[in-house]
Amino acid sequence: MRIEVKGRNLPVSEDLREHVVKRFRKVSRQVSELAELEVEVFEERNPAIADSQVAEATLHLKGVTLRARDASPDIVRSINMCAEELAVQVKRHRDKRRKRRESRAAAAPVAPEAQDATVAAGTLSGDISPAA
C-alpha cells in the first residue's frame, strides 16, 4: 500500500511520517498492494475549536473509497483514532465482499447440478422421445 502524508498549516516531520506508517500497518495488511492511502494532517486556526489537531485519511481501493476524519488536541491521538476508524471500515468492507463472493459461489454450482438432475430423471422415465 502506498502511503502519502500531507500537512496543511502544519509541518510533517519524519517522526510523524513513521508514526502514520506504524499506525496504518494493520490496514495495509488487509488491503491490496495497489491501494493508496492519503493522510492529511492540519491544524484548525480558530481558537474557539478545542480539538484543533485534525487528521483525515482517504483510502482508495478498487471500486471504493473509504474516509476517516478525527480531531483532538494532540495530532498523534488524532492519527491513532483515524487509523482505528479506517481499520473498522476496511474490515467491514472485506467481510461484505467475502460474504457476497461466498454466496455467489454457493449459488452458482447449485443451478447446473439441478438442471442435470432433471435431464437425467427425464431420460430415465422415458419423457424424451428418441430421434428417428
Spell out the residues 6+ positions from residue 73 whose beta carbon is closer than 8 angstroms to its own.
50, 51, 52, 53
Q: Tens of pLDDT along 63-90? A: 899 999 999 999 999 999 999 999 999 9
Domains of the chain, start order: 2-121 (3.30.160.100)
| Closest CA relative to residue 36, chosen from 14, 11, 5, 12 | 5
> Model-level pTM?
0.75
Predicted pLDDT of residue 115? 55
What share of the chain in percent tops pLDDT 70? 82
